[in-house]
Amino acid sequence: MSWQKSSQTIPESALLNVVKDPGPDQLGQDVWAFLRGLGGPSAIWVSGQDASRTRVVCTLLHGNEPSGTHALYRFLRSGKKPLTNAVFILASVKAALTPPVFSHRMLPGKRDLNRCFRPPFEDEEGLIAEAILDLIQTLSPECLIDVHNTSGSGPAFGVSIQDDPDHRALTSLFTNDLIVTDLRLGALMELSERAVPTVTIECGGASDHPSQIIAEEGLHRYLMAEQVLAVPDLEYMVNIYHNPIRLETRGDAPVAYAEEPDPEAVITLSPQSEKFNYGTLTREECIGSLGQAGLSALTAKDHKGNERLEEYFEAHDGGLYPRHPIKVFMVTTNATIARKDCLFYFIGCNPGQS
Ligand SMILES: [Zn+2]
């Protein structure tokens, strides 16, 4: 697909609330007033010093991941003029505002918006995702950053579907770790396939203080730097992790986080499991207590759809153990996310197994 020259303005949209160069009255007293003023999925245009180029920031695809929203609110409040035109897309505003605020990934009964960026665009979430994709296509930006928080506590990292200098350069504005995945889930970062370099930035946990600093400082660099895509011959010191595998329960079976095994759950993990994040799990490390179904309640398919569970894990003494050292990411202690999304991502630590 070929994209035209960057748009000099933002088009109106039936599904997105479009705001152009918001003044102080539109920003409200605080981030809550600002979000209430937006009321729903929104795109905010801020004219840049170089009006011929546009960069896009998306955030709040998940309503319980506030770091990107706080960071862009502070930027808007600063009154700074970004180097290029900037468009901020805030998606799940309604979910974020639903009490308790910033606690709903999506509203009950709705689909995860970051799984909706591929056809069919039929239900409400699909249509919002389509409207966002249409807007981005019209804007023809030089790149896009999608800012998230991890569901557990932990350090920041990027996620991309491509490993090339541009994606490394974008990641390096925020963090030095990049997960590159061939898995396609309908996530916004799959835009990289449509000639817009796109990186998902996971800033760390929503309640981790460093997440806020990472989001603010990274966003400032992204918006104010003359060049955010790769500078030729410059080496970006970014660690790359290819194709992590998701450990999931079969059929969204329940997961528990407790000190004692929960008889209702197919696996019970420690409430402190987040400590595994970014660590290496050895064969001696018990990941959790398995229910009666044992290993058969779990699944770990790679990006090609091959089952890898028994290659990486084994059950003994009622517990789940790695067969080889593995490095884990995105460990959650939220039982709903563990059940419906995954318990964590992992890669083998042995050479050639990444
Ligand atoms: Zn997210």
| 103 and 217 housed in the same domain | yes
**What's the CA-to-centroid distance between 308 and ligand 1, angstroms?**
25
Ligand 1 centroid to 242 CA: how many Å?
20
Q: Same domain, yes or no, for 260 and 134? A: no
Reported pTM: 0.84
Distance 175 CA to ligand 1 centre (A): 17
Q: Residue 236: what pLDDT?
A: 93
- Centre of ligand 1 to C-alpha 190, Å, is 14
pLDDT (tens digit per residue) in 189-229: 999 888 899 999 999 999 989 999 999 999 999 999 999 99
Say whether both 191 and 255 belong to one domain: no
Residues 211 and 222 in one domain: yes
* Contacts (Cβ under 8 Å, ≥6 apart) of 213: none
Q: Which residues of the chain have pLDDT under 50?
A: 1-3, 351-354
Domain extent for 314: 244-348
Q: Report the pLDDT value the prediction gives residue 152, as an integer from 0 to 100.
A: 75
Give residue 146 CA to ligand 1 midpoint distance, Å: 9
Q: For 305-327, how does the pLDDT look when each residue is reduced to its tens digit (9 = 90+)?
A: 899 999 999 999 999 999 999 99
Q: How far is the CA of 223 from the centre of ligand 1 (A)?
A: 21
Same domain as 223, residue 249: no
Interval between CA 336 and ligand 1 midpoint (Å): 14
Q: What is the structure's pLDDT at 350?
A: 60
The answer to the question of residue 132 being in a domain is yes
Instruction: Kindly state whether residue 4 falls inside one of the protein's structural domains.
Output: no
What is the reported pLDDT for 155?
82
pLDDT of residue 348: 87
Nearest-angstrom CA–CA distance, 305 and 1: 28
> If you measure from the C-alpha of residue 60 to the centroid of ligand 1, how many angstroms do you get, rounded to a whole number?
7
pLDDT confidence of residue 303: 85
User: Separation of 200 CA from ligand 1 center, angstroms?
Assistant: 9
pLDDT at site 1: 39
- Ligand 1 midpoint to CA 59 (Å): 8
